[in-house]
Amino acid sequence: MQSGVVIKALNSYYYVQDNENVVVCKIRGRFKKERFSLCVGDQVEYVLLDDGKGVIENILPRHTLLKRPLVANVDQVIITFSAKSPDINPVLLDRFLVLAEHSSLKVLICINKCDLDDKEDLTSLIRLYTDIGYDVLQVSAKHHIGIDTLKTTLTNKVSVFAGPSGVGKSTLLNALDPNLNLITGCISDKIQRGKHTTRVAELLPFSEGGFVVDTPGFSFTEFSYIDKFELGYYFPEFEQARNICKFNSCLHEKEPQCGIKAAVDEGIITEARYNSYITILSEIKNMKKEF
Ligand code: GDP
Ligand code: ZN
Domains of the chain: which residue ranges? 2-61, 66-214, 231-290
Give me the pLDDT at residue 180, please: 82
Per-residue pLDDT of 247-263, as tens digits, reads 999 999 999 999 999 99
Ligand 2 center to residue 284 CA distance, Å? 17
In the chain, what are the helix, strand and coil shares in percent, each to the nearest 5? 35, 25, 40
Please say whether the beta carbons of 195 and 120 come within 8 A. no
**Options 2.40.50.140, 3.40.50.1820, 3.30.390.50, 3.30.70.20; which CATH number does 2-61 get?**
2.40.50.140
Q: What is the pLDDT of residue 267?
A: 96
CA dihedral 186, 191, 195, 200 (to 10 degrees): -30
Q: Is 194 in the pocket of ligand 1 (CB under 6 A)?
A: no
Which ligand approaches the C-alpha of residue 251 most closely?
Answer: 2
Q: Is the CB of 166 under 6 A from ligand 1?
A: yes
Q: Which residues lie below 8 Å from residue 190, measured CB to CB, with a gap of 6+?
A: none
**Number of the ligand 1 atom closest to the C-alpha atom of 116:** 26
- Choose among 3, 4, 1: nearest CA to 203: 4
Per DSSP, the three-state class of 191 is helix
Instruction: Please report, in tens digits, the pLDDT of each residue of the chain (291 residues total).
Output: 999 999 999 888 999 999 999 999 998 776 665 655 788 999 999 999 999 999 999 999 999 988 878 899 999 999 999 999 999 999 999 999 999 999 899 999 999 999 998 766 799 999 999 999 999 999 999 999 999 999 999 999 999 999 888 899 889 999 999 888 634 444 445 445 444 444 578 899 999 999 999 776 666 667 778 999 999 999 999 999 999 999 999 999 999 999 999 999 999 999 999 999 999 999 999 885 554
Find the ligand nearest to 180 CA: 1
Q: What pLDDT, on a 0 to 100 scale, did the predictor assign at position 190?
A: 47
At the fourth CATH level, the homologous superfamily of domain 66-214 is P-loop containing nucleotide triphosphate hydrolases (3.40.50.300)
Residue 151 neighbours by CB under 8 Å, 6+ apart: 176, 177, 208
Task: Decide: 184 in ligand 1 pocket, CB within 6 A.
Answer: no
Give 82 Cα–ligand 1 centroid separation in angstroms.
9
Amino acid at 120: E
Nearest C-alpha neighbor of 41 from the set 93, 94, 105: 105
pLDDT at 30: 65
Measured from the Cα of 143, ligand 1's closest atom is 23
CATH class name, domain 231-290:
mainly alpha
- Say what the pLDDT of residue 34 is: 61
Give the position, in ligand 1's atom list, of the atom nearest the Cα of 173. 7
d(CA 65, ligand 2 centre) in Å:
30
Q: Is 145 in the pocket of ligand 1 (CB under 6 A)?
A: no
Pocket lining: 168 vs ligand 1, CB cutoff 6 Å: yes
Query: Quick one: pLDDT at residue 225?
Result: 80
The answer to whether the CB of 116 is under 6 A from ligand 1 is yes
Query: Is 169 near ligand 1, meaning CB less than 6 Å away?
Result: yes
**Which residue from 143, 165, 171 has its CB within 8 A of the most atoms of ligand 1, so it is best to mutate?**
171
Q: Is 132 exposed, middle or buried (0-12, 13-18, 19+ CB in 10 A)?
A: middle
Characterize 164-185 residue by residue with b for buried, 16 or more Cβ atoms within 10 angstroms of its Cβ, and e for exposed: beebbbbbbbbbbbeebeeebe
Angle between helix axes 147-154 and 169-176 (nearest 10 degrees) is 80
Amino acid letter for position 257? Q
Would you say 64 and 105 are in contact if contact means Cβ atoms under 8 Å apart? yes
Task: Find out whether the peptide bond into 69 is cis, omega within 30 degrees of 0.
Answer: yes
Residue 6 contacts residue 202 (beta carbons within 8 Å): no
Q: Cα(194)–Cα(282) distance, rounded to whole angstroms?
A: 30
What spacing in Å lies between the alpha carbon of 169 and ligand 1's midpoint?
Answer: 7
Antiparallel, parallel or unpaired: β 203-205 and 43-48: unpaired
- Of all protein residues, the one whose alpha carbon is nearest to atom 5 of ligand 1 is 168
Q: DSSP per residue over 227-276, as a string? A: -TTTGGGGSGGGHHHHTT-SSTT--SSS-SS-HHHHHHHTTSS-HHHHHH
Counting Cα atoms < 13 Å in the Cβ hemisphere of 193 gives 16
- Per DSSP, the three-state class of 105 is coil
